[in-house]
Amino acid sequence: MLVNGQRPDVPMNVVAIHDKELFKANSFRIEIFELCSLCGARFGIGYFGGSRKDLRLAEEIEELPRKLIEILAQDHRHHRDHKGFIELDY
């Protein structure tokens, strides 16, 4: 599930991947898990590639679940299914 031309050792934007899709993701580094507060769907939040030297600041990581929760709430408000892959750096 690498983006075309993306090397697994180069970090990408932070994404959330539905737990049902995680087994398909290659070189995905999970920083934290978050649940949809309405339906309980579980997402791994992280990025592809990278190493320990590429860890994000704690303040940045704290923002990611809030972004994801808002995206998931919008899905419910618009009566649409959650995507399996959600970009959080936008």
Q: pLDDT tens for residues 7-66?
A: 444 445 789 999 989 888 877 888 899 999 999 999 999 887 755 455 555 566 778 899
Over residues 71-87, the mean pLDDT reads: 96
Q: What is the pLDDT of residue 6?
A: 43
Of the candidates 66, 70, 79, 81, which has an alpha carbon nearest to the alpha carbon of residue 18?
81
For the beta carbon of residue 6, count every other beta carbon within 10 angstroms.
Answer: 15
> At a CB cut-off of 8 Å and minimum separation 6, what does 65 contact?
32, 34, 45
Rounded alpha-carbon distances, angstroms, from residue 82 to 8, 29, 45: 25, 21, 14
Q: State pTM to two decimals.
A: 0.75
Closest CA to 11 of 22, 3, 23, 20: 3
Q: What is the pLDDT of residue 51?
A: 55
